[in-house]
Amino acid sequence: MLVINRDSLEVYREIMGEGYETFIKDLIMTFFDTAPKLISELMLSLESRDTGAFVRAAHSLKSNSLTMGAQSLADKASVLEERGRSGDLSATNDELAQLNVLFAEAKGELLTIDLLQK
Amino acid sequence: MNSKKTRIFPWTLLGVIFGLFFPALALFLEHSLTGQALTWRSIYENDLSKPHFWIVCLAPPVLGVLFTFVGYRERRLNLLAQQMEGTVRTRTQELVEANQDLKKKNQEQARSEEALTQQRDFAMRIMTTMGQGLVVTNEKGIIEFINPAATRLLNYDAPDLLDRPFSSLVSERYHGLLELDFHQTTNTSEVEFLNSDGSEVPALITNVPRLQKGKITGIISVITDLRDRKTAEIQLQRQKLYFESLFKNNPNAVVTLDQHHRVVNCNPAFVAMFNYSLDEIRGKNIDDIIVPDDEIQLAKTYSHSIESGSAVHAVGLRKRKDNTLVDVELFGVPVLLDREQIGIFAIYHDITDMLKAQQEAETADQAKSVFLANMSHEIRTPLNAVVGMTGLLLDTSLSPMQREYANTIRISSDTLLSIINNVLDFSKIEAGKLMLEEQPFYLNQCIESALDLIAPKASEKKLDLAYIIHEDTPNKLLGDITRLRQVLVNLLTNAVKFTESGEVVITVSSTKIHDKEHQLEFSIKDTGIGIPSNRLDRLFKAFSQVDASTTRKYGGTGLGLTICQHLVELMGGKIWVESEVGKGTTFYFTILAETSPSTAIIFPRGRQPDLEGHRVLIVDDNETNRTILTNQLESWGLDVATATSAKGALKILKTEKDFSMAILDMQISEPDGISLANQIRKESRLASLPLIMLTSLGSQSERELGVDFAAYLTKPIKSQNLFEVIYSVMEKSSRGAKRKPTSPLYDSEMASRHPLQILIAEDNTINQKVAVAILEKLGYRPDVVSNGLEVLDALKRREYDLILMDIQMPDMDGEEACNHIRSTIPVAGQPRIVALTAHALEGDRKRYLDAGFDDYVSKPIRLNELIEVLEKDGTDKTTK
């Protein structure tokens, strides 16, 4: 199983038609830009115990990861979101480190992704 | 009786008359003698006194009387005679009759005698020829008659047996049977005769008492030879024992049932399997004994099947005496005799071992799949990292030598990745694990993307790429676009690899098989080095290359074509090749595909009214390209002229008029396309002729060379692109009003059909981009804000028909913003607010509706959901 679930990106193929490649590339670049920011946001809000910001960041990260097809990253973000919602911010340090690794893997695959192939 | 009475009177008269003779005579005599004359007077005078006269006159009465007597006598005589005649006649009749009777009797007698003789002969013949022996004895038991069959049976000559006692022919123990039975009944019994050589002959004798005048005078014995029957009996017995032993020795549990499914018999294997003895289960219903509770229902259906005459073959569980279960394969067969079902035959085969083996096989199979999947992941992950990192490295500033090293790593890792993909695909195919997808896709897109992949390499070698899809080929299909593309890319890669100059052309045609099923035939034709005919058969074999030298020169794993073959075959087709060394190679393959109902992108086909009648000049030295372009443009209704060189092109343009545009291939030889373009521009009449540049990928630099081209087309030419380009060129140059293409492209007209001012409120950049991209594709130009406060701001500046509101936003979230809008803005100006949410469960819908939203759309945004929501907007609006 690859890290990136191609189907999530494939859905845009039909809509975007010819502009699919450009669109996805743009999306990928945006992802590379925003995801690290969201992860930092998570870390900061964890330190400052800002539950609201934590949940929002986790939610956004989950949403973006799902759009890009980074399933594992999305799952992890979802777990953190739930934790945040339940008010429990304690045991998440290791998991934040994991997020980084998961993001790196997703990025690696997205960098070499062949958009013209499944 | 003669009724005629004899008349008396004639006699009397006769007598009288006769009597009268005498007087007459007397008178006469007298008169004659006397000489007197005979007169009455004389008579009276003379005669009457004479007495003799009176005496003579007595004569008539006397004679009369006399004759009367005679008459009477006559009468009586006649009567007598008549009577006699009558009697005689009667008597004669009687005699005749009697005679006839006698004759008849004689005949009958003769006949019965004959019949009797015949019967006797017949009886004799029967007795002589009958197959059964016949012995007739007298009251003393002595043989009086014995027929040939009997003598044959006993192997004696008849004379030897006559006058012997019957009992002497039989073994002692049967003597009682041969005694005279005064009760006159018939009896049949089995005996053994002693024949001439002393051996015993088994026979059946039927004894009938011989009756004569009510007395028994002996026995008639019919003898049937039983030797054959005895032999047959023995054989039958042996067969019976044979089948019984089959039943007994059958290693499978076998049981026979009556038509009510009650046990009649079972074999030792059955006893061993189920631990019941035959006595324990005889007469009991088989289902009651060995079927476990949860299989009863099923067992009943089996019973019904058998009752209706079919055989049952199934797998199931049965229980033993100790209630343990055993997996069995069972057979149930009705037993028919003369078309009537007299019972049932059931076999149980223990499949515990087989199931275990099957399970083990499945586990092994599963392990293999897991291994393959893991391998895939394990290998690709670090490789992705290598490729990715190399990419990142190349983005940094490197010295030329470092860049070269990094490039080499990049290329090698790309190659490694493709090799690994091939190997993994191959193993998947070998393990039978390769599954094809079934999704709708566009044939032209598949082909175009395959061509795009090899376009760089092709342009490096200055090869022309092109494709032709035949008119009737369906474009929207159901299938696996990736695998089809894989095959095409593989074949194209080979074609490009082995072609030094010329072109590579893909052609597609189709044949309709069914309603929606088509067979598509692809050909990939190149003008390459070709393949020697003696190597053709090795092409598709795994790991083989045409020859070792080509591997060294051209690389490759040798798996590509094998994989292609497998994929093609999975898609229901065949692959084959034709080639001529030095001329080129053509690979052909077919696939089966179903057409998918075309809903979205409509491929511009058929005559286009806006293009019809316009003239186009095509300048290209490649015949295939010219053909493709000409066919396509003509099918849209354009008038096409072609030229193969700059010189020819100029000639045509100078002499013929009314060209709407010209398509110039950049790769034509001296002068090249650019020069031609310049030359065209020099002609005053042609100065404003729209020119379309046809170029191969990677030759971007030409774009900067001064000539104002109306548009650019890259090879391989895509119909969609061609259409758009020509259309837009036509549009620009036409002075009339902007006309829409007659075949509306996908949904991009929605915004004009259904205009809406849309605001997107979403704090997530990626989601923003997706939403905007989709809406723009539909023709809308939405505004974007990233939180609730900004929404309210935006609403102050202008009116919106629709707000797509994300729930989770910083500073003010979607619900709060919605509330605010609902409570502050007057009803007439209320926008439709649609929630964008990641939680889209049924219960949530009510929540959002209660919170003031009109609808919701789940994230990530799906096109069809969005369209639905947008369309609802129009029908709901009453005020605006």
ipTM: 0.86
Backbone φ and ψ for B138, nearest 5 degrees, come out as -95, -175
Name the pLDDT band for B704 (thresholds 50, 70, 90).
low
As a whole number, mean pLDDT of residues B658-671 equals 83
Kindly report the pTM of this predicted structure.
Answer: 0.40
Alpha carbons B501 and B877: distance in angstroms, whole number: 64
Kindly state whether A30 is in contact with chain B, defined as any CB-CB distance less than 8 angstroms: yes
pLDDT tens, residue by residue, B817-836: 998 998 888 887 888 899 88
Q: What pLDDT score was predicted for residue B157?
A: 82
Collapse the DSSP code of B745 into the 3-class scheme (helix H, G, I; strand E, B; otherwise coil) and give the result: coil
Kindly state whether B433 is in contact with chain A, defined as any CB-CB distance less than 8 angstroms: no
Q: Are B518 and B511 in contact (CB under 8 A)?
A: yes
Our CA-based measurement puts residue B399 at a distance from the nearest CA of chain A, in whole angstroms, of 23
pLDDT tens, residue by residue, B80-125: 888 888 888 889 999 999 999 999 899 988 988 888 888 888 888 8
Structure tokens at B366: 């599963």
Q: Which residue has the higher pLDDT, B744 or B372?
A: B372
Between the CA of residue B257 and those of B168, B281, B282, B297, B432, what are the distances in Å? Answer: 52, 11, 9, 19, 46
Alpha carbons B171 and B192: distance in angstroms, whole number: 6
**pLDDT higher than 70, residue B392:** yes
Residues contacting residue B216 through CB under 8 Å, at least 6 positions apart: B139, B180, B182, B184, B209, B210
Alpha carbons B372 and B557: distance in angstroms, whole number: 19
Q: Are B463 and B428 in contact (CB under 8 A)?
A: no
As a dihedral over the C-alpha atoms of residue B319, residue B324, residue B329, residue B334, rounded to 10 degrees, the angle is: -20
B218 conformational bin, left if phi > 0, alpha if psi -120 to 50, beta if neither: left
Q: Hunting for tokens 């062949």 — which residue is that? A: A114
Q: Which residue has the higher pLDDT, B371 or B570?
A: B570
Who among A56, A64, A112 is closest to B766 (CB)? A64
As a whole number, mean pLDDT of residues B838-856 equals 76
Contact call for A63 and B859, based on CB within 8 A: yes
Nearest-by-CA chain B residue for A1: B377
Q: What pLDDT score was predicted for residue B682?
A: 82
**pLDDT higher than 90, residue B274:** yes
As a whole number, mean pLDDT of residues A65-83 equals 87
Q: Which residues of A touch B764 (CB under 8 A)?
A: 34, 60, 63-64
Q: Count how many residues are written for chain A.
A: 118
pLDDT tens, residue by residue, B741-765: 333 334 566 777 778 889 999 888 8
As a whole number, mean pLDDT of residues B584-590 equals 94
Q: What pLDDT score was predicted for residue B256?
A: 93
Q: What pLDDT score was predicted for residue B254?
A: 94
Contact call for A63 and B773, based on CB within 8 A: no
Kindly state whether A27 is in contact with chain B, defined as any CB-CB distance less than 8 angstroms: yes
The angle that helices A93-111 and B352-395 make with each other, rounded to 10 degrees, is 80
Kindly state whether B183 is in contact with chain A, defined as any CB-CB distance less than 8 angstroms: no
**Is the link from the previous residue into B382 a cis peptide, with omega within 30 of 0?**
no
Backbone φ and ψ for B26, nearest 5 degrees, come out as -60, -45
Burial class (CB in 10 A: 0-12, 13-18, 19+), B558: middle
Q: What pLDDT score was predicted for residue B543?
A: 61
Burial class (CB in 10 A: 0-12, 13-18, 19+), B35: exposed
**DSSP of B470-527:** -TT--SEEEE-HHHHHHHHHHHHHHHHHT-SSSEEEEEEEEEE-SSSEEEEEEEEEE-
Q: Which residues of A touch B865 (CB under 8 A)?
A: none
Kindly state whether A65 is in contact with chain B, defined as any CB-CB distance less than 8 angstroms: no
Our CA-based measurement puts residue A99 at a distance from the nearest CA of chain B, in whole angstroms, of 17
As a dihedral over the C-alpha atoms of residue B649, residue B651, residue B657, residue B659, rounded to 10 degrees, the angle is: 10
Kindly state whether B746 is in contact with chain A, defined as any CB-CB distance less than 8 angstroms: yes
Collapse the DSSP code of B677 into the 3-class scheme (helix H, G, I; strand E, B; otherwise coil) and give the result: helix
Q: Which residue has the higher pLDDT, B49 or B123?
A: B123
Q: What pLDDT score was predicted for residue B873?
A: 60
Our CA-based measurement puts residue A109 at a distance from the nearest CA of chain B, in whole angstroms, of 6
Kindly state whether B452 is in contact with chain A, defined as any CB-CB distance less than 8 angstroms: yes
Q: What pLDDT score was predicted for residue B483?
A: 87
Our CA-based measurement puts residue A53 at a distance from the nearest CA of chain B, in whole angstroms, of 8
CA angle B264, B267, B273 (to 5 degrees): 110
**pLDDT higher than 70, residue B1:** no
Alpha carbons B19 and B59: distance in angstroms, whole number: 5
Q: Which residue has the higher pLDDT, B810 or B269?
A: B269
As a whole number, mean pLDDT of residues B216-231 equals 87
**pLDDT higher than 90, residue B270:** yes
Alpha carbons A24 and A27: distance in angstroms, whole number: 5
As a whole number, mean pLDDT of residues B480-490 equals 88
Alpha carbons B361 and B44: distance in angstroms, whole number: 179
Positive or negative: CA dihedral A16, A18, A24, A30: negative
Q: Are B288 and B257 in contact (CB under 8 A)?
A: no
Who among A11, A14, A60 is closest to B764 (CB)? A60
Who among A3, A23, A108 is closest to B773 (CB)? A23
As a whole number, mean pLDDT of residues B785-791 equals 90
Alpha carbons B248 and B256: distance in angstroms, whole number: 12
Q: What pLDDT score was predicted for residue B239?
A: 93
As a whole number, mean pLDDT of residues A95-100 equals 80
**pLDDT higher than 80, residue B568:** yes
Our CA-based measurement puts residue B553 at a distance from the nearest CA of chain A, in whole angstroms, of 27
Q: Hunting for tokens 């074609």 — which residue is that? A: B495
Choose the mutation target among B384, B422, B475, B697 for the interface with A, i.e. most A CBs under 10 Å: B384
Nearest-by-CA chain A residue for B838: A63
Q: How far is CA A22 from the centre of its chain?
A: 20
Contact call for A67 and B860, based on CB within 8 A: yes
Using a pLDDT cut of 90, give the percent of chain B over it.
Answer: 20
Contact call for B769 and A26, based on CB within 8 A: yes
Alpha carbons B469 and B467: distance in angstroms, whole number: 7
Contact call for B766 and A107, based on CB within 8 A: no
**pLDDT higher than 70, residue B792:** yes
pLDDT tens, residue by residue, B396-448: 788 888 888 888 888 888 778 777 777 777 777 776 767 787 777 888 888 98
Q: What pLDDT score was predicted for residue B743?
A: 30
Q: DSSP code of B165?
A: B
Name the pLDDT band for B187 (thresholds 50, 70, 90).
confident
Nearest partner of A60 among B552, B836, B609, B655, judged by Cα: B836
Our CA-based measurement puts residue A90 at a distance from the nearest CA of chain B, in whole angstroms, of 23
Q: What pLDDT score was predicted for residue B575?
A: 93
Kindly state whether B744 is in contact with chain A, defined as any CB-CB distance less than 8 angstroms: no
**pLDDT higher than 70, residue B349:** yes
pLDDT tens, residue by residue, B295-331: 898 898 998 888 888 899 999 999 999 999 999 999 9
Q: Hey, which residues 813-872 in chain B have their CB within 8 Å of chain A?
A: 838, 859-860, 862-863
E strands, B62-113, are none
Looking at every residue in chain B, the average pLDDT score rounds to: 82
Q: What pLDDT score was predicted for residue B557?
A: 57
Contact call for A1 and B373, based on CB within 8 A: yes
Kindly state whether A7 is in contact with chain B, defined as any CB-CB distance less than 8 angstroms: no
Who among A26, A34, A116 is closest to B453 (CB)? A116
Q: Which residue has the higher pLDDT, B736 or B348?
A: B348
Q: Which residues of B touch A108 (CB under 8 A)?
A: 381, 384-385, 387-389
Kindly state whether A2 is in contact with chain B, defined as any CB-CB distance less than 8 angstroms: yes
Q: Which residues of A touch B774 (CB under 8 A)?
A: 15
Structure tokens at B266: 């079972």
Q: Hunting for tokens 């289960």 — which residue is that? A: B281
